[in-house]
């Protein structure tokens, strides 16, 4: 056979069989709550991350999204997926606190949760079903301030949406996690809520049962629970279980 023909035939066979291509395995797919967007890559920058509201991610995983690990800002959704046989038993790895934020210029003169009751206040919160949205509504109820929800001008898909609206001055106030303030510290002021209004915020993580890389997923969870992961979480302002 002519030399050119042999070379062409081999090239076609290589393309068909995948020889000579990139045989590296796909990166681990970690689906995680939006409030973890800064700290998770600091713990491990090798996975492919998908950050969004915990409720939205749970829906995606139920519908067959190729996730290996699921980390939520709530115990609710991981436990539901566990009960449905979609993830392994979830593990608690961190907690957080809810705070009130306002634009740094604070033209609405808001200094406490009670002030968001003022008529005309542009309040932005996360939507119902999103963990931080549910925590916000629970906090307002605990303070007897549920009427403030009448001032809501936007229900966001995740906590980052709330942060962005306030930081850009598109809202007068919003409720977010304390750990979200650092990234926008130059643009917002934050105010603590009374302890009575603090919901029990519990972050949980689990390996997805149908993971294509269960060993890698398990290793990621162990890294998060280990000394390096705990240190990174604490530096970012999270509270880790003892």
What is the tens place of the pLDDT at every residue in 66-91? 999 999 999 999 999 999 999 999 99
In a domain, 5, yes or no: no
Q: Are residues 74 and 134 in the same domain?
A: no
Structural domain including 75 reads 29-95+201-235
Q: Are residues 189 and 225 in the same domain?
A: no
| Model confidence, pTM | 0.86
In a domain, 3, yes or no: no
Q: Are residues 180 and 205 in the same domain?
A: no
Q: Are residues 76 and 113 in the same domain?
A: no
Q: Are residues 160 and 116 in the same domain?
A: yes
Q: Are residues 193 and 211 in the same domain?
A: no
Q: Are residues 108 and 83 in the same domain?
A: no
Q: Tens digit of pLDDT for each residue in 129-149?
A: 999 999 999 999 999 999 999
Q: Are residues 177 and 218 in the same domain?
A: no
| Number of domains comprising the chain | 2
- CATH code for position 167: 3.40.190.10
Q: Are residues 207 and 181 in the same domain?
A: no
Q: Are residues 188 and 210 in the same domain?
A: no
Q: Tens digit of pLDDT for each residue in 176-223?
A: 999 999 999 999 999 999 999 999 999 999 999 999 999 999 999 999
Residue 138 neighbours by CB distance under 10 Å: 16
The pLDDT, as a whole number, for residue 11 is 41
Q: Are residues 74 and 108 in the same domain?
A: no
């Amino acid at each position: 056979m002519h030399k050119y023909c042999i070379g062409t035939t081999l090239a076609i066979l290589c393309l068909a069989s995948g020889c000579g291509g990139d045989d590296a395995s796909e990166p681990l797919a970690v689906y995680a709550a939006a409030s973890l967007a800064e700290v998770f890559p600091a713990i491990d920058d090798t996975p492919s991350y998908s950050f969004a509201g915990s409720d939205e991610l749970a829906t995606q995983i139920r519908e067959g999204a190729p996730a290996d690990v699921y980390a939520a800002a709530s115990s609710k959704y991981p436990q539901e997926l566990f009960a449905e046989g979609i993830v392994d038993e979830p593990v608690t790895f961190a907690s957080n606190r809810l705070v009130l934020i306002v634009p740094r210029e604070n033209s609405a003169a808001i200094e406490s949760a009670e002030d968001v009751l003022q008529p005309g206040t542009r309040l932005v919160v996360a939507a119902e079903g999103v963990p931080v949205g549910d925590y916000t509504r629970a906090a307002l109820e605990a303070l007897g301030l549920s009427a403030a929800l009448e001032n809501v001008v936007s229900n966001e898909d995740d906590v980052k949406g709330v942060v962005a609206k306030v930081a850009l001055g598109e809202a007068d106030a919003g409720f977010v996690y304390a750990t979200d303030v650092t990234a926008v510290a130059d643009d917002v002021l934050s105010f603590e809520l009374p302890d009575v209004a603090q919901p029990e915020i519990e972050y949980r993580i689990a390996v997805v049962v149908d993971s294509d890389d269960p060993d890698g997923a398990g290793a990621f969870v162990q890294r998060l629970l280990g000394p390096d992961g705990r240190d990174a979480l604490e530096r970012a302002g999270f509270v880790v279980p003892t």
